Structure 1
């Protein structure tokens, strides 16, 4: 069984703050992909579970797909470009299945969908051949999601407070 956790990561770019990232078996997901596919610009991509997504409808797709119904599969956007923070740029997806006490990421890949409407994300994917499947305990997976939910709500509250101060 693999281990998944949400963990604070230091940004690779000075213009961005540190952020909550996905760690798989002790390695941040973006760094793991960069090792397997050097030069493909996966290092520095950030989780789509963050509040910083630019388009609310896209964020809703992510949160709806990150935990499929029991015995169902989804293709969920999991990493995005930190510059655009939407589905228009680099989007890494995972095919996720929910089993009784296990969550399986069967495969990961780069979204190449031509239709950039939120619901079409993941409809066309160039799957990564070097990335194996990952199996997580449902408890670990839910703890990871919960950590992102808490961070999402904290970041949202800070954003609202800043907006109110400006007005």
Structure 2
């Protein structure tokens, strides 16, 4: 059984620290970068964070990250931090809900060309060097709850900064 949790990671690109997947004591993006060097998988960020540019894409992630029992779905789990959408580097997982465990049977790079967010995962190049992952469902649910807490905090911080920015713009007029 693998472990999964949320921990704060330091960005290698000068951006703010962020909540990231910690699996078996490694960062998922760094593990992919180690297995597939020069593909720019290191530095991708979780799709569960606040800031996705397209609301319909965010809905797809939230709908698929925890499939119904005995169902399997393809869910975006990591994305490019520059674009914050499905248009750039997008890492997906084939997620299966087995009742007491959640399996990420395969992880790969999305190659879908259709722009409809519902089609994401229809074409995937699966990573052969990445092993199947299996998580205790309670631990998986805690990970999702932790991401939701960071999402809310990041959203509140953004709204505060945006309000202050708008106020400063008005004050300058």
| Same fold, judged at TM 0.5 (above) | yes
Corresponding residue of 1:159? 158
Corresponding residue of 2:59? 60
* TM-score (structure 2 length as normaliser): 0.93
Corresponding residue of 1:13? 13
Measure the CA separation in 2 of the matches of 1:83 and 1:136.
29
5+ long unaligned stretches in structure 2: 168-173
Report the alpha carbon displacement of residue 156 of structure 1 after superposing the two structures with TM. Answer: 1.1
5+ long unaligned stretches in structure 1: none
Number of corresponding residues: 166
Corresponding residue of 2:94? 95
Corresponding residue of 1:142? 141
* TM-score (structure 1 length as normaliser): 0.97
Q: Deviations over 1:80-101 (max 9, x none)?
A: 0111110000000000011121
Report the alpha carbon displacement of residue 22 of structure 1 after superposing the two structures with TM. Answer: 0.3
State the 4+ residue runs in structure 1 displaced beyond 6 angstroms: none
Across the aligned residues of Structure 1 and Structure 2, the Cα RMSD in angstroms comes to: 0.9
1:117 is the counterpart of 2:116: yes
Corresponding residue of 1:25? 24
Q: Deviations over 1:19-50 (max 9, x none)?
A: 00001100000000011111111001000000
| Secondary structure of 1:160 counterpart | helix
User: Greater shift after overlay, 148-157 or 104-113?
Assistant: 148-157
Measure the CA separation in 1 of the matches of 2:46 and 2:86.
12
| Secondary structure of 2:53 counterpart | coil
Corresponding residue of 2:2? 2
Q: Deviations over 1:49-99 (max 9, x none)?
A: 000211111111111100000110110000001111100000000000111
| Secondary structure of 2:83 counterpart | coil
